[in-house]
């Protein structure tokens, strides 16, 4: 089973580039399942819209994950409540619209995709990722589980993956928009990469205009960012998982321009 995970889609730039490149990327790697983080897919680069989600699915996503910006665009309640295979972090407060995990059926195999929000440096309340993961594992011990851990802290993502080595099939980090070069198969068979990066403008600061990002850092004042134009890149990771053992066989980071 080949799983393709694509980093945070940023604005119209990222959405359009995804629609252009994802079909050929899926074909090249023989992807059986494609997960795309789209929490920044709204034209503003923050949140989701019904149009942006529709385009991401039409590009070839089987399931969409999000993160701390999931609810930054208006109308999110209806979008998350009514769209199947669209996830928001599972470890948020009870009563929030949407779902935190869902299933994909692949030729007789059921795969669970879990979306979590990091507990550190995120500025958003979230419950314990370990306790939530334990509860999911107790309910579904016999199927492959893939986790998008949307978190700022690299140490948090690495520690989580090491703790669940052999229990989860694939753990990938999102949020920083920077593709890391630490992809590996952990000793007990879990595929891991700290961050799968972003899909959006190359000549930018994690997707937004560089001068505005520098101005905010220099002066510490509120700035309204906008998504940069120009050439884009698609980044992510592709993992092969053994259908019988649920362990990862291979992992490769990808960057397409």
Instruction: Tell me if residue 77 falls in helix, strand or coil.
Output: helix
Q: How many other CB atoms are there within 10 angstroms of residue 96's CB atom? A: 16
Active site residue 69: yes
State pTM to two decimals. 0.96
* Catalytic one of 69, 150, 175, 177: 69
Cα(198)–Cα(212) distance, integer angstroms? 19
Higher pLDDT, 132 or 75: 132
Q: Domain range for residue 169?
A: 2-256
Residue 92 has pLDDT above 90, yes or no: yes
Place of tokens 């850092």: 217
| pLDDT reported for residue 164 | 99
| pLDDT reported for residue 74 | 87
Residue 225 sits in a domain whose CATH number is 3.60.21.10
Find out whether 53 and 84 touch, Cβ atoms under 8 Å: no
- CA proximity to 174, closest of 250, 236, 112: 236
Considering its fold, how many domains does the chain have in total? 1
Residue 122 has pLDDT above 90, yes or no: no
| pLDDT reported for residue 244 | 93
Residue 125 has pLDDT above 90, yes or no: no
């Amino acid at each position: 089973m080949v799983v393709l995970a694509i980093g945070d889609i940023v604005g119209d730039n990222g959405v359009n580039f995804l629609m252009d490149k994802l079909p050929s990327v899926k074909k090249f790697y023989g992807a059986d399942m494609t997960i795309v983080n789209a929490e920044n897919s709204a034209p503003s680069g923050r949140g989701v819209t019904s149009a942006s989600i529709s385009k991401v699915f039409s590009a070839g996503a089987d399931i969409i994950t999000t993160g701390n910006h999931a609810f930054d665009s208006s109308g999110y309640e209806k979008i998350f409540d009514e769209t199947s295979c669209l996830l928001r972090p599972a470890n948020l407060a009870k009563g929030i619209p949407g779902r935190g995990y869902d299933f994909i059926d692949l030729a007789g195999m059921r795969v669970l995709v879990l979306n979590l929000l990091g507990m550190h440096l995120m500025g958003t309340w979230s419950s314990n990722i370990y306790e939530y993961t334990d509860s999911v594992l107790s309910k579904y011990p016999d199927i492959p589980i893939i986790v998008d851990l949307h978190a700022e802290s690299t140490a948090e993502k690495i520690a989580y993956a090491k703790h669940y080595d052999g229990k989860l099939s694939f753990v990938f980090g999102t949020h920083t928009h920077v593709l890391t070069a630490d992809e590996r198969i952990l000793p007990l068979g879990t595929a891991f990469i700290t961050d799968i990066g972003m899909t959006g403008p190359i000549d930018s600061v994690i997707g937004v205009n560089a001068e505005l990002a520098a101005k905010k850092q220099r002066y510490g004042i509120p700035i309204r960012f906008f998504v940069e134009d120009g050439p884009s890149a698609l980044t992510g990771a592709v993992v092969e998982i053994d259908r019988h053992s649920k362990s990862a066989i291979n992992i490769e980071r990808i960057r397409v321009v």
